[in-house]
Structures are given as C-alpha cells and as structure tokens.
Chain A
C-alpha cells in the first residue's frame, strides 16, 4: 500500500525493478533519472560493488504531478539480482505497489529469468501478496544483442499472467519510458481504486 500524507495531500507509491543479475535494472533506472525533469526528480542513490554491480539497492524519487488532486510521488528501487542477495530483495519488496520485471533476452540467461520470476513470486508470498494481484509489467531487455530468445518464447515461459510486456534496449533508452509509463498507470489505477479516490 502507498504512503498517504493526508495533511500534505501526498501519495507515495513504491515501484521495484526486479530481475536477474546483470539484466539491466540499474541501467533502466539511470536512464529514467537522466531523462527526467531535474525539478521533479530526486537524487539517484546507487550502492554498488567495486565491479559496479548493485550491492544493496538503487533508489531515487520522482514526482508524477497530481492524481485526483493529490501530489503523487514514486520511489523507484532496484534490487541486487544475484541469487545470493535474497534477503536484500525480500526486504526491498516490503509494501511494494508495483513491479517492473526486467528479463535478460540472452539465450544463456533464459533459465535465470525464470528462476528470478519464481523468486519474485516466492518473496512476495512472504508478505501474503500474489503476483497476479500486484500491478506489474515485464520488459524483455537487450533486444539488440546476438543469441537472444524470441519474444514469443520469453512471453510463453515468463509472462504466464499475460501482463503488459515490452521489448527494450535499456542502454540506448529504447522501451524504458514505455515500460515505466504503463507500470505507473497500472499502479495509480490500482491505488485510486483501492483507496476509492
């Protein structure tokens, strides 16, 4: 559930970029931060290892203007994708309002994508949240590389809930904002419905 400050008429939603290690979650977030209006974005906090892999998480806030008269902000998080940082992933998922699952299109990451998607479901279950009930979208990233799995196959294996999905090349920014806009719309629609705004 989002954080609501009735006095300030402010709504804060949490959107988490989830997915396998080295899949492009941080790249998505960096692109969004770079291309967002400086007046509406907050500082990007990246906590990474010496080899620039996300260690704790990445975070930045972004104002989305007004929804139903309430100032709406989003907190964007990435999680460390490597399987051994599960405690961090689970902690970040607490009170999440929406998820962007970033799948790596490369053939040799196919199994890792499925594992990560199952891990997302399992971690959400610890908070009694079903992925089917949570607004989320799927992004098939790295579409410009060789040896990639066809989108239809990725869709068949990962997008079993038939949620909106997008092809992307996050390094170039292709598909990044399309993914974001749909995810944000789904989250806001759910929040306005749940809160009966």
Chain B
C-alpha cells in the first residue's frame, strides 16, 4: 500500500488470538453464531432502503391491473414478484414484511380469479396494502428509503412497444430492473444473466431503451401512455401526493446528477493528472533503466578486464611456481652434494690424521735409530 495512505501496522500474534481456520465442515453442520442486534439492524436498514426499488415494478403492474380487466399474465407476473420478495424478506427474518407481502399476494390472486374489473373497494384495499408496505419499508430503512433514480419506469416507457413483449417486461421487473436509467447503464451480458432472456432479445431491448427520448418519459415509439387510475378521492389524493413527491425527488435527482457530473469531471481531471504523473514516472523509470543498463555494461567491461588480468596473473604465478619448484630441486641436489662432500672431508681428515700418526711413528723410530747410531759411534 502506498505510504501516503497511513499504512496500518502489522498485527502481533498475541493481539490476534484467532483467525478463521479452514475446516472440513460444511453448510449442513449448523451455524453456532447468533446474528447480533446491530447486525440485524444493519440488514433491516439495507433491506428497507432498497426494498422500494424492488417495489416499483409491483406498483407498475398493480396500476395496469387496476385500470381494467386484469390480464392473467400480469396477475401471474405480479404474484410471482410478490412471492420472490416474500421469500427474500423471509430469509432476512422480517416476518411483518412477509405477512404483509403474503396478504398483498392473496388479494392480487383473488382479484385475478374474479376475472372482472376491480371495484372501487378492491382498488382502495389493494392500494392501501401497497402504501402500508412502502411505509413499512420506510420504517425499516430508518428514513433512508426511496433514493433511487427517478427515470421513467420500464412499464411507462416500453409497454406496447411492438418488439418488446409483456413477458420481457415481467422478467425485467422480477430481476429488479425497473427503471429506464438502470437499463441504460446495464451491460447486455448482465441483463441476460439476471433475466434469463436470450442475447438477441436483450440487444433489441437495450437498442430500444437507448433510442428513447428523455423528454417524453411517459411515452415510447409505438408505445402507449399509462392510463390514469379512476380512483376515489382519498386514494387520488394519495396518488397526487405520491406524484408530487416523485417530482420533488426527480428535481433532487437532477441536482444530484449535476453534482455527479461535477464529481465525474473532477474525477477525469484527477485521472488526467494521475496519467500525467504516471507518464512522467514511466519516463523517469525508462531513464533510470537506461542508466542501469549503462552501468551494467561498464561493470561487465570492468569485469572482463579483471578476468583477463586474473588469467595473466595466474599464468605468471604458475610459471613462477614451476621455476620455484626447479630451484628447490636444485637446492636439494646441492644439499645432497654438500653432505656427500662433508662426509668425504671427514674421511680425508681421518686418513690424513692416520698418515700423520704413521709419519710421526716413523720419525720417532728414525730418531731412535739415529740416537742408537750416535751412541754406537761414541763408544
């Protein structure tokens, strides 16, 4: 990690008594740890904040059902979406949401079974259930809910389009793709993965979405404007209130989009600056690399010279060693000869001594004889 990001220090073993060790357990072995209250609260907040986004297709389908004779396909799609949401809420453990969704589901199914246009009572009951659900989501989120982008819904924008079938819209909504803006940001492979639609259908859909005119959110090329509901006064007031809320939110979203563009521009500036820095760094690195290469070449040359000098020294040393060996041999030979000569000297000394001794003996005998001769002559 870069130093400027105040790198966290390395933990000592005694500071961290246990890290998760890999075991051979599996998901069937049970889960011993209870979810903490704060974790539950966090899950509630996330689920509640995002639930309204997933309720949007429900609301759209409901409006379609309540405006005329319920279409079996739409009722079935709506019921399917409610079941999916109910299952999700059940896994998170929100019993109150599950119960509300199940009640809602039962009312929708019952309406579909009657196969006739909804009465004013039906509409008020079902819309009431929807508002209760949205209120519940608002409570779960702690007031954070409903911040999703307010581009036109896919039902507003695409219903009635010749090449986009009702089943496609239902699959999109079941996957949480409820707004045109979401589709504009989506990649074809992602849409295919979450909806199960084939690549061709997804491409047609995205082409259609890209061709939509932002200034006419309620209409499509060849599509139909969504019919307004013939509601009772109370319900109408609620719908108007909701529409007003949507407009305020749309303005807020526009403001947010402007801020986002500002941030993106700042981001691009930062990226350009970073790119510039990186280019400079790359050039510096290239220069350093060239410098290092030059140094390496010099070192290689010096090494080669040193090797040659070493070879010459080794040769000289070998020659001197040979000469020294020869000198040593000659010295040994001389020592041997000197020892022989010493021994010869000693022998000669002995012989000389013997000769001297013999000469002395002879002289003594000569002298004796002389003295004897002198004596004889005197007598």
Residues of A within 8 A of B (CB): 3, 5, 10, 12, 14, 21-22, 32-47, 49-51, 53, 55-57, 59-68, 73, 75, 80-88, 91-92, 94-95, 112, 118, 121-122, 125, 132-133, 135, 160-164, 173, 177, 180-181, 184-186, 188-190, 192-193
Known contacts A55-B194, A80-B176; 5 further A-B pairs (Cβ under 8 A): A38-B31, A51-B196, A64-B20, A88-B53, A188-B11
Cβ-defined contact, B8 with A21, below 8 A: no
Residues of B within 8 A of A83 (CB): 185-187, 190
In chain B between 183 and 217, which residues have their CB closer than 8 angstroms to a CB of chain A?
Answer: 183, 185-187, 189-191, 193-196
B4 vs chain A, min Cβ distance (A): 7
Q: Between A and B, how many residue pairs show CB distances below 8 Å? A: 200
How would residues 147 to 174 of chain B score, 1 for a CB under 8 Å from any chain A CB and 0 otherwise?
Answer: 1110000000000000000000000001
Interface size on B, residues (CB 8 A): 69
CA–CA, A49 and B269, complex, Å: 39
Cβ-defined contact, B18 with A66, below 8 A: yes
B190 vs chain A, min Cβ distance (A): 4
Residues of B within 8 A of A (CB): 1-2, 4-6, 8-11, 15-27, 29-36, 38-39, 42-43, 45-47, 49-50, 53-54, 84, 88, 91-92, 144, 147-149, 174-177, 182-183, 185-187, 189-191, 193-196, 263-264, 267, 274
Residues of B within 8 A of A12 (CB): 36, 38-39
CA–CA, A73 and B32, complex, Å: 13
Given A65-B16, A84-B186, A87-B147, is A47 in contact with B177 using a C-beta cutoff of 8 Å?
no
Cβ-defined contact, A163 with B1, below 8 A: yes
Cβ-defined contact, A49 with B19, below 8 A: no
Residues of A within 8 A of B91 (CB): 45-47
Residues of B within 8 A of A39 (CB): 32-33
The main secondary structure of chain A at its interface with chain B is: mixed
Q: Which of A46, A62, A132 contacts B20 (CB 8 A)?
A: A62
Cβ-defined contact, B33 with A92, below 8 A: no
Q: What 8 pairs across the A-B complex have the smallest Cβ distances?
A: A65-B18, A189-B8, A84-B182, A42-B33, A39-B32, A38-B29, A82-B190, A65-B17
CB<8 Å pairs between A and B, sample of 16? A34-B25, A34-B27, A38-B25, A41-B33, A46-B91, A55-B194, A56-B47, A64-B20, A84-B182, A86-B185, A87-B50, A88-B50, A125-B263, A161-B5, A180-B20, A185-B16
Cβ-defined contact, A3 with B31, below 8 A: no
B197 vs chain A, min Cβ distance (A): 10
Cβ-defined contact, A59 with B196, below 8 A: no
A69 vs chain B, min Cβ distance (A): 9
Residues of A within 8 A of B195 (CB): 51
Cβ-defined contact, A61 with B1, below 8 A: no
Residues of A within 8 A of B25 (CB): 34-38
Residues of B within 8 A of A37 (CB): 20-21, 23, 25
B191 vs chain A, min Cβ distance (A): 8
Q: Which of B15, B33, B45, B263 contacts A67 (CB 8 A)?
A: B15
Residues of A within 8 A of B193 (CB): 21-22, 51, 53, 82
CA–CA, A187 and B70, complex, Å: 54
Residues of A within 8 A of B177 (CB): 84
Cβ-defined contact, A162 with B10, below 8 A: no
